[in-house]
Chain A
Amino acid sequence: MFEGKLVILRALEKEDLGILKEWRNSSHVRKSTREYKLLNMINQKNWFESIHQSNPPKEIMFGILNKRKKLIGVTGLTYIDWKNRNSEISIYFSTKNWQTKPEAKEVINLIVEYGFEELNLHRLYVEIFSLMKENIKLFSQIKFIKEGELREKVWRQNKWWNTIIFSKLASEYKK
């Protein structure tokens, strides 16, 4: 368990998959993720199996708990490339407008700390749809550097949207 002032990160368990499914299918999470289907328990179980397949893992996922030990969100490192030492950060919460809450920054700090200090990664990145203004603001605030925009990369809400790539290098990381 990794403990912050406001949140705790713990390993995900199979028993979490039901509630995660509800969250992933909710409109505020769907808006920000690449998934375009509605997920069922088969999808969820297959995903859970698949993230435990490779060694070293390509995905390391955590449940986010509040101080009352209630599961409030999910975070993790995905597409871990051990050769080139980079990975994408994944994060979502059960409630809307989480981006402005102090918990969000703390979770990202914990995951960044884990990526650099424990896994010895070199670059952590996120790909944000341009419709997610809140996420863009959040990652700018915590000093991720904008690397560029992939033009008209996703089709959502009946139009094309750019995706924006932000990253932080180990050399830019200060505890």
Chain B
Amino acid sequence: MNKKSKIELKKVTKLDLKLLIEWRNSKDIFPYNTQYFLLNSKIQIDWFNKMQNDNSKKMFMILYGKIKIGICGLIDVDKKNKNAKIAIIIGKKALHGKGIGTIVISHILKYGFNKLKLHSINSEVIEYNKNSIHLFEKSQFKLDATYRDAIWRNNRWWNIKSMSIFKKDFNEFE
């Protein structure tokens, strides 16, 4: 079986929350998110409950060969201006840099452009997250803006890169 066919996106359930806390608080993920406090079960359950009636958030568990390896989706979905922000976490570090992210992004773009009929999808990445910047570039995202000194992390200021892709520039991954 090739990588592409081993990857599936499934609905997030309450049973996944423990895994999400583990990933998002881990030293491989935490420094790359804008979130600056550690998550506990209350925060995660509130997040899950709120999401049930929130059309601006569409999140999915990422399965690789039936095993849950991460979470991804679209946030800040703006129906009026037809745009959204992409979110992706591959929880298992051992699976980073193996082309899985590219396939997952392709799934999300397909969902956003074809199902939600979006016009553009945006990604915001802290500048030191070189792997993610590279990943989005590979997926044909183009740099729109560099927010200067937009985040304080690790005792200094960092820029945030804002990138986007249009429906017309998206070639479905075959």
Which A residues have a C-beta under 8 Å from some C-beta of B? Answer: 36, 83-86, 122-123, 125, 145, 147-155, 160, 165, 167, 169
Report if A150-B164 is in contact (Cβ < 8 Å); known contacts: A36-B80, A155-B80, A155-B81: yes
B139 sits at the interface (CB 8 A): no
Which of B82, B83, B120, B147 is most buried by chain A, counting CB atoms within 10 A of its CB? Answer: B147
Known pairs A150-B162, A165-B145; A83 contacts B152 (CB<8 A):
yes
* A151 neighbours in B (Cβ, 8 Å): 120, 142, 144, 164, 166
Asked if B152 and A149 sit within 8 Å, CB to CB, the answer is no
List 8 tightest A-B contacts by C-beta distance, closest first: A148-B145, A150-B144, A147-B145, A165-B145, A154-B81, A84-B151, A148-B144, A84-B152
B81, B122, B150, B166: the one contacting A86 at CB < 8 Å is B150
A160 touches B122 (CB 8 A): no
B174 adjacent to chain A (CB < 8 Å): no
Q: Which of B150-167 contact A (CB under 8 A)?
A: 150-152, 157, 162, 164, 166
A-B contact count (CB 8 A): 56
Residues of chain B within 8 A (CB-CB) of A148 are 143-146, 162
Interface centre among A85, A125, A152 (most CB of B within 10 A): A152
Interface string of B127-156 (1 = CB under 8 A from A): 000000000000000111111111110000
Contacts of A169 in B (CB 8 A): 148-149
Interface flags for B57-95 (1: CB within 8 Å of A; 0: not) read: 000000000000000000000001111000000000000
B150 pairs with A123, CB closer than 8 A: yes
Residues of B within 8 A of A150 (CB): 122, 144-145, 162, 164
Which residues from chain B contact A147 at a C-beta distance below 8 Å? 145-148
Task: Give the number of residues in B that approach A within 8 Å (Cβ atoms).
Answer: 23
Name the residue of chain A whose CB is nearest to the CB of B166: A152
Could you show 18 A-B contacts with beta carbons less than 8 Å apart? A83-B36, A86-B150, A123-B147, A123-B149, A125-B147, A145-B148, A147-B145, A148-B144, A148-B145, A148-B146, A149-B144, A150-B144, A150-B162, A150-B164, A151-B120, A151-B166, A153-B120, A155-B80
| Docked-complex contact A160 and B145, CB < 8 angstroms | no
Chain B residues with CB below 8 A from A149, complex form? 144-145
A84:B164 contact, CB within 8 angstroms: no
Q: How far is the CA of A154 from the CA of B164 in the complex (A)?
A: 14
In the complex, what residues of A have CB within 8 A of residue B36's CB? 83
Does B107 have its Cβ within 8 Å of any Cβ on chain A?
Answer: no
Q: Report the bound CA distance from A151 to B83 in whole Å.
A: 11
Q: State the CA gap A151–B82 with chains docked (Å).
A: 12
B119 in contact (CB, < 8 A): yes
Name which residue of chain B comes closest to A170, CB basis.
B149
CA gap between A160 and B150 in the complex, in Å: 26
Residues of A within 8 A of B146 (CB): 147-148
Q: Distance (Å) between the CB of B85 and the closest chain A CB?
A: 11
With a CB–CB cut-off of 8 A, which chain B residues contact A153? 81, 83, 120
